[in-house]
Structure 1
Amino acid sequence: MAESIRALAARQLADYRAGTPGTSFADPGRPRLGLDDAYRVQGEVAALRAPAERVVGYKVGCTGPGTRAQFGLDGPIRGLLFDTELHRSGSELSAAAYAELAIEGELAVRLGEDGRIATVFPVIELHNYVFRGQPPTLAELVANNGIHAGVVLPPPTAEAPWPGDEPLSGRLTVRIDGACVEEGPMDGVPGGPAGSLRWLSAHLAEHDLSLHPGQLVLTGTPLRLLRVRPGAHVEVTAEGLGGVEAVISA
């Protein structure tokens, strides 16, 4: 099985770089992949991407009502964030660099030196919105790294201090070309951002992994994935925590 996992990981990475992610999941005779094996594929892909690309954190996905209903899947699942796929607010991103580009508005946190949440801020998560399997499975989602393709971040100086025990009671809003297209509570995933982090910490421990100071964690969202086309101006705001934006070019 280890040999087949490595072969699948090599194909996964080649497909990802070719802009055609996850083609193996469309193969009629493909072997059924369990969730643990899917995480092994994810890890093997990360090993193949190193040392040129460095893992800088994690995403927690498929937790909120929007994506669970949209995918027909119940998570949570974990994905990896790479330093080469971080973009600053105001970036211009080419739709041609992605496969069926979709975005998500969500909250992210950064860990402090004590391993606890230090800051919280809105982000735009980028996705290759492609599922090959019919029906899609959590294993496909995990092996495709949560269909994650990057994240747009605010400047470090704009990251808000974590409020501690105070609830995040504001609204998370996605605007495209100035019009509100999605809105929901900032605490709209189970347990809020802190709940996502607790799940992630326990999940990583089961896989002999752990969180580290300075890492970035995307904590999930109550909102849906939204397909975006060239020419779109995307903005995500979190009430009291600021905003982040990007322009989608051809």
Structure 2
Amino acid sequence: MTKFPEDIAGIAAAIRAAYVTAPISPIRTRLAFHEVDMAYDIQEANTSYWLAAGRRIVGCKIGLTSPAVQKQLGVDRPDFGILFADMQVPEDEKIQLVRVLQPRIEAEVAFEIGSDIDATDPAADDIIRATAFVMPALEIVGSRIKNWDISIIDTIADNASSALFVIGKDKRKLEGLDLSEVTMRMTRRGEVVSQGKGSACLDNPLNAVAWLAGELGRRGRPLRAGDIVLSGALGPMVSVNSGDEFEASISGLGTVSAHFV
């Protein structure tokens, strides 16, 4: 396992402990320098730890794809986190709410990568060629930071506030599908709680995946065939309570649901 500086390793350990105890104070208060690369070093320390413990990477998630959220956090870029196999929940399986700290949910377009992407500056057309399928997805996000008091430093260090995800059964090819124009409608127990469209995600989810592919390529962990990418929220995220049942419908892609107990 990679050796990390003591301060990085210590903060990473505090985040891991929060998963089984309680949310902690913001990471940014523990760092002398608020650098994005340092936050990714903390994330990487935990990724390395979890891989050594037997977890398996299945892809990545993209966060901060909404201009409104970027403005709120004072940033001009998205971020990413790692998806592990044990984070995926089958659509027909009820989700124990205790698995997630401060849970919220959002609807997204999921990509299944069909061929390796080695370019460090890919365009949307490169992503189209490399994509096997797109699917409707729900991401259940959670924060190990108390009261969701996060900056970009906090969320990156905390694996981009990731927790669980559900992917719908319908798979679509990209041919003939304009992801910037897809519309999303999410209900909770039949009541509409979030709406949006593809253009809310960096103007087009393809742009988000192109950004991710380039970022990962530059960091030496390029997207590979078989990877799953959650491309970013299509509308506002919503808090989750026990007993909630959510269904998201994305035009042209189908529906996906999640049930919490």
- 1:131-159 Cα shifts (integer Å, max 9, x gaps): 4499632111100111110101123xx21
Query: What's 1:110 paired with?
Result: 112
SS at match of 2:199: coil
TM-score normalized by structure 1?
Answer: 0.88
Query: What's 2:16 paired with?
Result: 13
Q: Does structure 1 retain, via aligned residues, the 8 Å contact 2:40–2:156?
A: yes
Aligned-residue RMSD, C-alpha: 2.4
For structure 2, list consecutive stretches of 5 or more residues without a partner in the other structure.
Answer: 118-129
For structure 1, list consecutive stretches of 5 or more residues without a partner in the other structure.
Answer: none
1:119 aligns with 2:133: yes
- 1:141-182 Cα shifts (integer Å, max 9, x gaps): 100111110101123xx2111226x41323111110011111
Aligned length: 244
Q: Does structure 1 retain, via aligned residues, the 8 Å contact 2:58–2:85?
A: yes
SS at match of 2:249: strand
Q: 1:190 aligns with which of 186, 202, 205?
A: 202
1:175 aligns with 2:176: no
Query: What's 1:145 paired with?
Result: 159
Runs of 4+ in 1 over 2 A off after TM superposition: 24-33, 65-75, 129-136
1:19 CA displacement: 4.7
Q: 1:29 to 1:150 in 2, by over 3 A?
A: closer
Query: What's 2:44 paired with?
Result: 43
Q: 1:28 to 1:194 in 2, by over 3 A?
A: closer
Q: 1:225 to 1:19 in 2, by over 3 A?
A: farther
TM-score normalized by structure 2?
Answer: 0.84
Q: Does structure 2 retain, via aligned residues, the 8 Å contact 1:75–1:138?
A: no
Q: 2:237 aligns with which of 200, 222, 225?
A: 225
My pick for the range that moved more, 183-192 or 105-114, is 183-192
1:2 CA displacement: 2.0
CA distance in structure 1 between the partners assigned to 2:46 and 2:32 by the alignment: 18
Q: 1:43 to 1:88 in 2, by over 3 A?
A: same
SS at match of 1:42: helix
Q: 1:239 aligns with which of 221, 240, 251?
A: 251
Letter of the 2:256 counterpart: V
> Equivalences for 1:195-214 in 2 at 5 Å?
195-214=207-226
1:34 CA displacement: 1.4
Q: 1:114 to 1:53 in 2, by over 3 A?
A: closer
> Equivalences for 1:148-163 in 2 at 5 Å?
148-155=162-169, 158-163=170-175
Letter of the 1:117 counterpart: T
More strand by share: 1
Letter of the 1:186 counterpart: G
Identity %: 25
